[in-house]
A and B are shown apart, each in its own frame.
Chain A
Amino acid sequence: MQTNNLYEGQKLALKYFTVAIVLFGAQLLFGLVSAIQYLYPGFLYNTLDFSIARMLHINALVVWLLYAMIGAVYWLLPDEAGVEVVGIKLGEYGFYILTAAVTVVVLVYLFIQVGGGNELTLWLITEGREYIEAPRWADIGIVAVVLVFLYNVYATVMKGKHTGILVVLMADLIALAGLYLAGMFYTDNIAVDQFWWWWVVHLWVEATWEVYVAAVGGYVLIKTLNANRQVVEMWLWIEVAMMFGSGILGLGHHYFWIGTPEYWWEIGALFSALEPVPLVGLFVHVLYDWGKERGKGNTIKNTPAFAWLTVETFGNFIGAGIWGFMHTLPQINLYTHGTQWPAAHGHLAFFGAYVAIVISAIYLGIQGKAGLKELRMTKASWYAITLITVGVVLMTVSLTVAAYTQTMVERAIHGATWEGYFIAQANQWFVQGMGWRLASGLMVIVGYGFLVYDLLNITKKQPAEVTEGQAVSA
C-alpha cells in the first residue's frame, strides 16, 4: 500500500469510488428484483413492489455514477492542476454528509416507501418523479455538497495549472449542478412538471454528462497511452461543440407528446443523436498515433482502464447514438414512446456512455493507490469486462425484441388501449424477451462479482515483470 504518494484529493477519490461500487451492486440487485417481477409478478408483491424496486434500481444507478464521477474528478484534479485540492477538509465532510444522506434516503425508500398525498411526503419520503425521486430535504443536501465540490474544483484550478481538460470540466460541472435546480419545485400542471423534469434528466445525461465523459476519457487516454495532449484537447473541444450543439436542442425529442407545441417535432428530430460521434473520433485518432509509435517502449500503462475505455467509446456510440436514433424521430416515436424501446436504449446507453468510463477511472485509481507504473489485466478483469459487456448487450437485444412486439401489438394493432397493453405483455415474444433479459442480467451480476474481486486483488496478481520493473524504478 503506497497511498502516501497520493494527493489528499486522490485519497478522497478512492472513498467515492468505494461507495460507488457498493451502490453499483445495489443497482444490480434491485434490477434483478424488477426483472423477476416481469416474469413472476407475485414475487415480493405488496412487500417490495415493482415501483419501489425499480425506483431503487434507477436511483442507485444515478447516485453511484455521480459518486464515481465526483471521485474521478477528485482523482484527476490535483494530478492535472499539479497542486493539492484546495478545501480538501470541506470535501471530506461533504463525502460523509452525502453518504449519510444517501443511506437515510434508501432506508426510507425501502421501509416507508410511499406517503399520503401531501407536501410533507414530497419533503420527507419521495417526490415521485422518475430518476429524481429523492425527497426535497435530500435535494437541498445534495446542492450543498455539490457547491462544496464546485468550490474545491474552481479553487484548485485557480491555484494550479489550467489545462484544457480542467477548463472543460469547470464549465461543464457548473452547468451540471445548476440544472439540478430545475427539478426541485412542485406544480399541479403535469406538462410543465415534465417540461422542467427533462431539463434535469436530458441535459444531464445527453449533454453535461456526455461532456464530462469526454473530458475524463481524454485524461484516461493521456494516462494509459501517453496520448498527445494537444490532440486530446483539440478533440475535446470538437466534442463539446458537437455534444452541446446537438444535445442542448436535442432536448426537443422529449417534447413531442407532453402538451408542448408542435415545433419541437422538427427541433427534436434535427438535433438528436449526433452526440457520440466525436468520441469515436478522439479514440481512433489517439489509437492511430499510438500504433505508429508502437514497439518503442510505449506499452499501455493500464490495460483494464484502457479496455473499459474501448467499451465506453463504442458502447456510447451504439447505445446512446444508434439505439437512441432508432426511435427518436417523431414519426416513429409516436408509436414507441412509453414502450420498452426507451428501456432497451437506456440500458445500453447508460452502460456504454457512463458505467464503462467510470470503471475505467476506478482502475486508474487502483493503479495509483498501489503506486504501480503499469497495471495489467488479470483473468478476473477479463471475466468481468466480458460478462458485464456481453450481458448488457444481450439485455439490450432482448428488450429490443420485447419493444418491437409491444409497439406492434399494443400500439399499431390495438391503438394503445389497456387491453392492447396486456395482450402485448402476454405475447410469447414479449415474454421471451423478458426471459432473456433476466438471464443476461444474471450474467451481468456474475460479472460484477468478478469486477469487485478484481478491484480488490488486481494489484496483488500482477506479473513479475511489472512488479520488478516497479522495484527498479522506485
Chain B
Amino acid sequence: MEERPTSVWSSNRFWRRSATWVTGVSAVLLIFLTFDTIAQMEMGTAKDIENKVAKRIPSPLVINYKITYEMNEKRGHEVPIIGGKDANGNSKFEEKEKFFGRDDYSEKEATDLIHLGKLTIQAKNCMDCHTLLGNGAYYAPDLTKAWLDPAWGPDGALQGMTNSKTKEEAMAKFLQHPDKYPTHERMMPNLGITEKEAKAVVAYLKFMSAIDTNGFPRNFGKIKGAVNANK
C-alpha cells in the first residue's frame, strides 16, 4: 500500500505530505497575522492622546478623561468614546473627569497605577470568578465595562451602600471589604486588598472599559440606558 497505492486517496505518502504542507502554511499564516495584530494592540501613549489618536488599547492616561460607550453607525456596534464625541463619532479627548479628585495624572503616575492594578488582578485570581474581556469564570459579573455599569453610577445601589460620593470611591471601598456589603446572596470574599491596591484596580477597570472590544458586550445597558441611552 505504501509503495504502490491503488489510488492517491489511500496513499500514506500523499496524506503525510498534505499534513506537513497544511500545518506549515497555517503556522506561517498565524505568525504573519500575529505580527500585524500585536502591532495594532500596542498600548497608547501620551502622544496619541495629544494627537487625538484612538488606539484599540488606550494610554493609561484615559483615567483623566470621561469614558462612554456609544453606537458607531459606521462600524455597526458600540465603541468606547474618550473625552467626548466629535461630529464624526470619534473620541475628542477633551472632556476630563476627576478620578479620586484629580484629572491631571502624569503618564508615569497613570502607568504605575495600571501596573499595580494588573498585578493585583492576577495576584487575587479575579479571573477565577469574574470574566475580563469575557474570559475567565462565570460566577461573578463581567468586568470588561464594569466602570460604565449603571450599578456603580449615581442611580445604582452601590454608591449609597458604601456611603460614597463617587463611583471610584464606591468601588475602592467595596474591594477592600466586600464581605461587609451584602449585594447579593453570592458575595465577593475578602481577599485582603489594600487601599492602594484597590485604587489601582479601579484605575485598571476604568482603563479596561476604554479598550475597543469590537462591540462586546453588545447593547450594553440598553434597558437602563447605561451609556448608549436608547431608552
Interface residues of A (CB under 8 A from B): 34, 37-38, 41-42, 45-46, 49-52, 54-55, 113-119, 121-122, 125-130, 133, 164, 186, 188-195, 197, 230, 233-234, 237-238, 240-241, 244-245, 248-249, 251, 254-265, 267, 334-335, 337-340, 343, 406, 411-422, 425
Contact = CB atoms under 8 A, between A and B. Distances in A.
Nearest to B135: A194
Interface in B34-62: 36-38, 40-43, 56-57
A117 B149 CA distance: 25
B30 A130 contact: no
B23 A422 contact: no
A184 to B, nearest CB: 13
Given A52-B125, A260-B40, A334-B216, 8 more contacts: A50-B137, A51-B128, A51-B189, A130-B136, A190-B211, A192-B57, A241-B23, A261-B37
Contacts of A258: 133-135, 213
A237 B15 contact: yes
Nearest to A199: B34
A237 B30 CA distance: 21
B146 A51 contact: no
A462 to B, nearest CB: 36
Interface in B160-211: 179, 184-187, 189-192, 194, 197, 200, 208, 211
Contact of B40 (A52, A261, A422): A261
Interface of B: 1-2, 10-12, 15-16, 18-19, 22-23, 26-27, 29-30, 33, 36-38, 40-43, 56-57, 111, 114-129, 131-139, 141-142, 144-146, 149-152, 179, 184-187, 189-192, 194, 197, 200, 208, 211-224, 226
Contacts of A164: 12, 16
Contacts of B222: 414-415
A339 B57 CA distance: 24
B81 to A, nearest CB: 16
B214 A117 contact: no
Contact of A338 (B18, B115, B138): B138
Contacts of B200: 117
Contacts of B18: 237-238, 241
Given A55-B128, A245-B22, A46 B190 contact: yes
Q: Which of B43, B122, B152, B216 has the most CB of A within 10 A?
A: B122
B79 to A, nearest CB: 12
Contacts, number: 260
Given A114-B124, A119-B119, A420-B223, A340 B133 contact: no
Contacts of B218: 334-335, 411, 415-416
A188 B132 CA distance: 14
B125 A51 contact: yes
A164 to B, nearest CB: 7
A419 B222 CA distance: 12
Contact of A127 (B122, B134, B191): B122
A417 B221 contact: yes
Contacts of B37: 195, 255, 260-261, 264
A412 B222 CA distance: 9
B109 to A, nearest CB: 14
Contact of B12 (A115, A190, A234, A416): A234
A117 B12 contact: no
9 contacts: A41-B185, A114-B123, A116-B197, A133-B128, A249-B29, A259-B212, A413-B223, A418-B141, A418-B149
Contacts of B221: 415-417
Contact of A129 (B42, B122, B186): B122
Contacts of B42: 189
Contact of B43 (A133, A188, A237, A240): A188
A129 B220 contact: no
Contacts of B22: 241, 244-245
Given A117-B116, A237-B18, A256-B214, A51 B137 contact: yes
Nearest to B188: A49
A217 B34 CA distance: 32
Given A128-B126, A241-B18, A415 B217 contact: yes
A191 B41 contact: yes
Contacts of B219: 411-412, 415-416
A414 B119 contact: no
A127 B118 CA distance: 11
A195 B43 CA distance: 14
A128 B223 contact: no
A422 B185 CA distance: 10
Pairs of residues from A and B, 6 with the lowest C-beta to C-beta distance, nearest first: A117-B120, A128-B122, A416-B217, A338-B134, A257-B216, A237-B15
